[in-house]
Amino acid sequence: MKHWKPTEEQKHQWEEKGFFIERNVVPEDTAFDMRGVIKNELLKPEPSGNPNADPMDPMGDTPEARALRFRKLGNFCVESPLIWHTFHTGREMLAMARYFLGNDIIVKFNSVFVKPAKTGSATPWHQDNGLWRDGETEPFNAWMALDPATRQNGCMQFIPGSHKGEIVQHVLYEDSIHGELPRDLVKARIEQCGIEHIEANPGDVVCWHSSLWHYSPPNPSPNSRIAIAGVWTNPEINAGRVRPLHRWGMKNGEICTAFPPEAVQIENGKPHQLGPFPKASQIKQ
Ligand SMILES: O=C(O)CCC(=O)C(=O)O
């Protein structure tokens, strides 16, 4: 298994800005193959992976309309051997995750961000660990573009350096699709630190710290912006947390190649119960 080390520039970006980009992690052709698996799934009457409706749904019942129904498939990648073996337990990705996490690696989350052409909605400003609410700050997050991700079709935006602060209480507004960072704090942070637009080609990967403030805008363009994401952690960081979706990615430096992926069994762990996010109007920051 090959070892991976960040370049000096990536190291600096990780520490100072909270993210770095690794280009061409898989060839464009492979990225398009993975995208095809997702496009095929989206056309099914009831796609797998806990589909999360786009706020614009319902859009109709033609194949074209069905392709636009969802903003996210929350746990689909465990059902696609191509995506799982290439990305979540791919050699290149696990080599990067191993640099941060060591020889035993758990895949904590997997998701597909669909952001369909013309109707794809925004993902609100958030910190990943602000949504997880499990106190984990150290896991390794990565996201791979399967379509070109550009400013036109809603590429991600990061506030550089925002990973250095604490985990902020996420809240709900009338129009929130899920918990988000308080909008007045986001506005102030952007005025102070600016925004970086993360444009990426199919097969490029962006890695970020779980506390980084990030967002993606709606997609008014004629092109979809499909991407896959993962969160990798290790048994020490994850100790005592029971989540039914956790799978083994690497044991003792060896990639776990089972399919379906092997679930992580944690003895004596307490199930992680999450209540609703508070309303923004109830919270004084
Ligand atoms: O793909 C996107 O637009 C958002 C991804 C994201 O926010 C995440 O993976 O935490």
Residue owning tokens 């370049």: 7
Query: In total, how many domains does the chain have?
Result: 1
Distance 72 CA to ligand 1 centre (A): 9
Sign of CA dihedral 254, 20, 157, 28: negative
Burial class from Cβ neighbours inside 10 Å (0-12, 13-18, 19+) for residue 212 reads buried
Predicted local confidence at residue 50, as pLDDT? 85
Backbone dihedral angles phi then psi of residue 135, each to the nearest 5 degrees: 80, 0
Q: Which atom of ligand 1 is nearest to the CA of 214?
A: 7
Which one is predicted more confidently, 241 or 248? 248
Which amino acid, residue 183? R
Q: What are phi and psi of 66, to 5 degrees?
A: -60, -35
Within-domain flag for 1: no
Q: How far is the CA of 46 from the centre of ligand 1 (A)?
A: 23
In the structure encoding, which two tokens stand for residue 119, read together? 């109707």
Residue 267 Cα to ligand 1 middle (Å): 31
Residue 55 DSSP class: T
To test the ligand 1 pocket, which listed residue (216, 225, 226) has its Cβ within 8 A of the most ligand atoms? 216
Q: How close is the Cα of 208 to the center of ligand 1, in Å?
A: 11
Mean pLDDT value across residues 124-132: 95
Asked whether residue 2 is assigned to any structural domain, the reply reads no
Longest CA span, the chain = 51
Residue 86 lies in a domain: yes
State the Cα–Cα distance between residues 225 and 35, nearest whole angstrom: 10
Distance between CA atoms of residues 69 and 61, nearest Å: 10
Ligand 1 pocket check for 216: Cβ under 6 Å:
yes
pLDDT of 124: 97
Measured CA to CA, the distance from residue 269 to residue 169 in angstroms comes to 25
> Average pLDDT of 198-225?
97
**How high is the pLDDT of residue 67?**
86
Domain containing 264 — which CATH number?
2.60.120.620
Instruction: Give tens-digit pLDDT for 62-93.
Output: 888 888 889 999 899 999 999 999 999 999 99
- Give the residue with greater pLDDT, 243 vs 196: 196
In a domain, 3, yes or no: no
Atom in ligand 1 nearest the alpha carbon of residue 141: 9
Q: Is 143 in the pocket of ligand 1 (CB under 6 A)?
A: yes
pTM over 0.85: yes
* 3-state DSSP of 170-232: CEECCCCCCCECCHHHHHHHHHHHCCEEECECCCCEEEEECCCCEEECCECCCCCCCEEEEEE
Distance from C-alpha of 44 to C-alpha of 25, rounded to nearest angstrom: 29
Per-residue pLDDT for 53 more than 90?
no
How many A from CA of 215 to the centre of ligand 1?
Answer: 7
What residues make up the domain containing 145? 8-282
pLDDT at site 274: 81
Q: Is 208 in the pocket of ligand 1 (CB under 6 A)?
A: no
Q: What is the pLDDT of residue 93?
A: 97
Does 116 reside within a domain?
A: yes
Whether 218 has a pLDDT exceeding 60, the answer reads yes
- Cα of 239 from ligand 1 centre, angstroms: 25
Q: Is residue 146 in contact with ligand 1, taking CB distance under 6 Å?
A: no
Whether the pLDDT of residue 54 is over 60: the answer is yes
Helix H or strand E encompassing 20: strand 19-22
User: Domain for residue 152, yes or no?
Assistant: yes
Question: Probe ligand 1: pick from 113, 199, 221, max atoms within 8 Å of CB?
Answer: 113
How high is the pLDDT of residue 267?
Answer: 65
Token couple for 246: 């956790």
Q: Is 23 helix (H, G, I), strand (E, B) or coil?
A: coil
Start-to-end Cα distance in the chain: 47
Task: Compute the mean pLDDT over every residue in the chain, rounded to the nearest whole number.
Answer: 92
CA of 147 to the centre of ligand 1 (A): 14
